Structure 1
Amino acid sequence: MKKLAMVMMTAGIICLVYSGWNIWKGRQLQLSTLQQAKAMTNEVGNSVKEQGKYSSSKKIDKNIIGVLEIPRLEKELPIVEGTTPDNLEKGVGHYKTSALPGNKDQIVLSGHRDTMFRRFGEIKKGDTVTLKLKSGSYLYVVDHMKIVHADDRTIIHSTKPKEELVLTTCYPFHYVGNAPKRYIIYAYPKTTRRP
């Protein structure tokens, strides 16, 4: 019995260390991606460069396209091109088939509920979100939210000539495993009302 207890305790410690290592590694990757995104959009100040966390001499990941700011959550999140599992570990993923800001069509960004979009449910109607890209900053106002089934593919579609920002994540927020639904936030350019 003592040997079994020791084996179980050792296995538990190994699992905790492994999980902790993965969480730390993921946060470091996200921080690095955010710093590169800020550098790319000219938002990195001298203080970060002086700390040696990011140097302009380092190569910027070609998949990084910008920064998503969510004031309600006091968050700045890196935006990467694509929604592969590797990309979503780095930041918020931009669906390649959707538009980019300023192109008067639907922009779709997706993130994991337990990393990038933690506290996502706290966002309210009327809140603002900003997308900062090389081409400039784009301010959007949250208009409404909805919950859909995970298999619902009608969310992603052209909205030409109206620009629409769609933020998606898995739902319920505290679900363990593959969540059966998606939480969708719709936002529109500040100067535009809902179509």
Structure 2
Amino acid sequence: MLQAVRRLLIGLAICAGLVLAGQGLWIHAKAFLAQILLDRAFEQSVATGQVVKPWSWLDTYPVARIGVPRLGESAVALEGASGQALAFGPAHVVGTPDAGEDGTAVYAAHRDTHFAFLAAVRIGDEILVTRRDGGTARFRVTDHDVRRWDQSGIDPSAPGRHLVLATCWPFGAVTHGPLRYLVHAEAM
């Protein structure tokens, strides 16, 4: 009897482990597929000049591709910094201009996924932002700092053409906090 109970418990533990491992693999598979669909939708938007959603129920759409050539990193940015948008990539903050227009364009993303590469960005690096209309804005990193989320000092209507990439701080943290890492860049 004791042997049968032990086998049952071992079988249940193995099943639970397989279910958890399957869920983890499923999440990664969905994330991988989402990036492919975002890339395709962005390319179609550039080619047609129309808003193209990567899947019909997404509450946002691709608006730009942000890249740092020195690092070989890029990510498709979505419109509006909603929770759903941030789950899939960087997001263009509503109320800020598009990259390359007068003012300060702001894009935000999670520190442990799409903007993890910001930890390696250096002053002087070039940032390329390809917009949905096919235009590319070039920026040079001028500064980076850490600020409270509610005290960023970012002025979307500041004179000139600026870019701010924002993510949570510190990198590698596992809990939420009030600090944001800001990369500041000016148009070239």
Give the TM-score of the pair, scaled to structure 2.
0.81
Residue 14 of structure 1 is matched in structure 2 by 19
Residues 69 and 39 of structure 1: is their aligned pair in 2 closer, same or farther, counting only changes over 3 Å?
farther
Residue 176 of structure 2 is matched in structure 1 by 178
Residues 163 and 41 of structure 1: is their aligned pair in 2 closer, same or farther, counting only changes over 3 Å?
same
Is the contact between residue 30 and residue 89 of structure 1 (CA under 8 Å) also seen in structure 2? no
How many residues align structurally?
A: 174
**1:180 Cα offset (Å):** 4.3
Q: Which runs of 5+ in 1 are unaligned?
A: 43-55, 191-195
Residue 162 of structure 2 is matched in structure 1 by 164
Partner amino acid, structure 1, of 2:17 = G
**1:182 Cα offset (Å):** 1.5
Give secondary structure in 1 for the equivalent of 2:116. coil
Q: C-alpha distance in 1, partners of 2:78/2:161? A: 20
Decide which of 26, 29, 47 is 1:24's aligned counterpart.
29
**1:17 Cα offset (Å):** 1.6
Residue 136 of structure 1 is matched in structure 2 by 135
Q: Deviations over 1:153-190 (max 9, x none)?
A: 43432342222100011122211132442111001101
Is the contact between residue 92 and residue 108 of structure 2 (CA under 8 Å) also seen in structure 1? yes
Partner amino acid, structure 2, of 1:111 = A
Bigger radius of gyration among the two: 2
Matched, 1:115 2:79: no
| Cα-Cα RMSD | 2.2
Residue 90 of structure 2 is matched in structure 1 by 92
Give secondary structure in 2 for the equivalent of 1:144. strand
Q: Which runs of 5+ in 2 are unaligned?
A: 54-59
Is the contact between residue 95 and residue 156 of structure 2 (CA under 8 Å) also seen in structure 1? no
Give the TM-score of the pair, scaled to structure 1.
0.79
Residue 148 of structure 1 is matched in structure 2 by 147
